[in-house]
């Protein structure tokens, strides 16, 4: 299954104002892996995701999806295989109804309306909101919006799901549902987030980014319990790993 592999080779990227956001990053993500990308604000997570999806092109280095290099030419094919879920659902849901939004991707690939319809309903079923199909995006709750924006990507039947802060701004119950949803997907997953508990639950592997470089790359449980590493990267232990406030007070 080599075509599901996602590889970054010596990626570097600078913004026009000279800020060097990504410095020489390399990694390889295999089929079926779930990888959390964590790091402080401004560490370069979002830039990295944009480089992976070809929304930005690297100054040097390359991104490979399977054996195909991400270039302007290969983009249409690559984008069908990489599904990117943006942080703000209001950016992702830009059509007037949920149905039209989920249909947007398939329609761009020239599928006939019947197949578009089938894909839309399948995607909505997967995230459990088929009844919301005719609803306008602004009438959805935060959790519903998140589910809908995930469906907009699923309808393109990607091999790899890339998500930017999938649990941001959700109430605890909605967050829980999104986590369960993510766990249920068999896709290769790349999840960038500050929600370290969610990362711990959904990802087996974690990459810690600091100042545009990979500070650590390894098993999630190991890295997310390394207080020293996390602290040096502007992070802290996930709450579930920290001691219980009641018990630890007693012990302390």
**In the complex with other proteins, which residue's Cβ is closer, 143 or 224?**
143
Contact criterion met (CB below 8 Å) for 197 and 240: yes
Report the half-sphere exposure of 101 (CA within 13 A, side-chain side).
Answer: 28
CB of 55 to other proteins, least distance (A): 5
**In the complex with other proteins, which residue's Cβ is closer, 108 or 242?**
108
CB of 90 to other proteins, least distance (A): 5
Which residues are CB-contacts of 179 (< 8 A; sequence separation ≥ 6)? Answer: 167, 198, 201, 202
Alpha-carbon gap, residue 113 to 177, rounded angstroms: 31
136 closest CA partner among 127, 145, 128 = 145
CB of 45 to other proteins, least distance (A): 15
Contact criterion met (CB below 8 Å) for 230 and 222: no
**In the complex with other proteins, which residue's Cβ is closer, 8 or 132?**
132
**In the complex with other proteins, which residue's Cβ is closer, 59 or 130?**
130
CB of 89 to other proteins, least distance (A): 10
Contact criterion met (CB below 8 Å) for 123 and 102: yes
**In the complex with other proteins, which residue's Cβ is closer, 95 or 216?**
95
**In the complex with other proteins, which residue's Cβ is closer, 54 or 66?**
54
Chain contacts with other proteins (rule: CB under 8 A) = 50, 53, 55, 76, 79-80, 82-84, 86, 88, 90-92, 94-97, 100, 103-105, 107-109, 113, 116, 125-132, 134, 136-141, 143-144, 146-147, 152-153, 156, 171, 173-174, 177-178, 180-181, 184
CB of 193 to other proteins, least distance (A): 18
CB of 169 to other proteins, least distance (A): 13
Q: How far is CA 142 from the centre of its chain?
A: 17
Alpha-carbon gap, residue 138 to 131, rounded angstroms: 16
Alpha-carbon gap, residue 230 to 39, rounded angstroms: 9
Q: What is the DSSP string of 108-163?
A: HTT--HHHHHHHHHHHHHHTT-GGGTTS-GGGS-HHHHHHHHHHHHHTT--SEEEE
């Amino acid at each position: 299954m080599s075509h599901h592999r996602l590889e970054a080779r010596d990626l570097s990227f600078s913004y026009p104002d000279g800020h060097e956001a990504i410095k020489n990053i390399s990694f390889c993500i295999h089929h079926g892996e779930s990888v959390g990308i964590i790091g402080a604000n401004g560490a370069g997570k979002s830039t990295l995701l944009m480089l992976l999806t070809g929304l930005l092109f690297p100054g040097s280095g390359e991104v490979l999806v399977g054996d195909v290099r991400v270039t302007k030419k290969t983009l249409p094919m690559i984008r069908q295989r990489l599904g990117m879920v943006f942080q703000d659902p209001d950016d992702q849901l830009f059509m007037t109804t949920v149905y039209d939004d989920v249909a947007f991707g398939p329609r761009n690939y020239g599928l006939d309306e019947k197949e578009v319809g089938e894909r839309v309903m399948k995607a909505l079923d997967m995230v459990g909101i088929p009844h919301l199909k005719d609803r306008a995006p602004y009438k959805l709750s935060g959790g519903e919006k998140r589910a809908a924006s995930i469906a907009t990507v699923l309808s393109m039947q990607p091999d790899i799901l890339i998500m930017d802060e999938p649990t941001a701004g959700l109430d605890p119950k909605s967050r829980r549902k999104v986590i369960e949803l993510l766990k249920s997907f068999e896709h290769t997953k790349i999840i960038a987030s500050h929600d370290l508990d969610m990362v711990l639950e959904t990802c087996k592997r974690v990459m810690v980014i600091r100042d545009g470089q990979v500070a650590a790359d390894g098993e999630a449980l190991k890295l997310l319990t390394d207080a020293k590493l996390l602290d040096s990267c502007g992070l802290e232990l996930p709450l579930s790993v920290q001691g219980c406030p009641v018990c630890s007070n007693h012990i302390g």
